[in-house]
Amino acid sequence: MKFLDQVKIYVKAGDGGSGSPSFRREKFIEFGGPDGGDGGKGGSVILRSERNLNTLIDYRYQQHHKAERGTDGAGKKRTGRSGRDLFLKVPVGTQVFEEDNKTLIFDFKKQGDDFVVANGGKGGLGNVRFKSATNRAPRKFTKGKKGEEFIIWLQLKTIAEIGIIGLPNAGKSSLLSVITSATPKIANYKFTTLNPNLGVAIYDNKEITIADIPGLVEGAHKGIGLGIKFLKHIERCNILLHLIDITEKNLENNYNKIKKELKSYSKDLLKKKEIIVLNKIDLIEKNEVKKIVDSFSKKTKSEITILSTYDKKSVSKIKAKLLSYVS
């Protein structure tokens, strides 16, 4: 499924139905009084979060959404039927902005949240409402109120406990594919992943949501490469798994490039828990792996985990480690 994380839509709540100016018309009753009922309320437009969704692509092709109008009142004091509410499903992690695309009005953080984005118009009053001691046969009635209408922006920020970050071609998609049921596009060239991928890892009856964030490059916080468009998805993650290709010449430099981009985008990202994983150990000798790990560990003063996505034991260890961080 194509990923889309920002879209502009128009929403219009239903108008209220008009009140009725009806009078009683019955046999043998010469002067029937007013009996016009009220109009029904217009339907509202309601956004509802759904965990099974992971894209806003449906709103690319249908951008206008209108709720049902309330029906008019009728004689015999019959109130018009209220218009049906229109429910629009959005993924968990969706943020709703005003037309300026800057003013946040709602943030969907959990399954089943509802947000009334446009209220339906009230129904008009029938003429029976205006009957009084001095006006026994009022012809006055009111029309229904207009339903609210807005242009809004929907922005999706991926919600996952763990985000896999790293330079392009570090093996992020490969890791996601072996520890979850996700099937991201994988190839041996940079920028294979152009959209965040989500997967759920299950281990010892526990599950964890993992996001493969597209590769970051130097200057990403300024919009270079895939840039800010995907840096925002990292904000939602509790833990960052920093994946590094062990065959690269300068591991420390590659590591610091990513840390610099995170800091430039938001210093809060540096406060998140970090797991450093050196990937593709199957491509070099075991003795060499140990030397690289020892050297890199001293420079970063962090615990280093090694990985080969082709080794089941290695993958199982990573799974267990990840789950220990979130359980």
* Contacts within 8 Å (CB) and 24+ apart, 25-30: 25/75
Q: Which residues contact 305 (CB under 8 A, 6 or more apart)?
A: 275, 276, 277, 278, 317, 318, 321
pLDDT at residue 191, rounded to an integer:
42
Q: Which CATH architecture has domain 1-156?
A: Distorted Sandwich (2.70)
> Measured between alpha carbons, how far is 207 from 112 in angstroms, rounded to an integer?
20
pLDDT at residue 195, rounded to an integer:
61
> Measured between alpha carbons, how far is 219 from 92 in angstroms, rounded to an integer?
29
Segments making up each domain of the chain, as ranges: 1-156, 162-326
Q: Which two tokens stand for residue 97?
A: 């902005």
pLDDT at residue 182, rounded to an integer:
57
> Measured between alpha carbons, how far is 284 from 304 in angstroms, rounded to an integer?
17
Edge to edge, the sheet with strand 149-156 lists: 64-66, 6-12, 149-156, 94-97, 104-107
Phi, psi at residue 319, to the nearest 5°? Answer: -55, -50
162-326 CATH pick, 3.30.750.24, 3.40.50.720, 3.90.650.10, 3.40.50.300: 3.40.50.300
Q: Which two tokens stand for residue 111?
A: 């399954």
pLDDT at residue 129, rounded to an integer:
95
Q: What is the pTM of this model?
A: 0.71
Beta strand pairing call for 86-91 and 64-66: unpaired
Low-confidence ranges of the chain (pLDDT < 50): 1, 184-193, 219-227
Candidates 53, 23, 49, 27; CA nearest to 36 is: 23
pLDDT at residue 30, rounded to an integer:
67
Q: Which two tokens stand for residue 295?
A: 């050297």
First to last CA, the chain: 30
**DSSP assigned state of 24:** -
> Measured between alpha carbons, how far is 296 from 249 in angstroms, rounded to an integer?
12
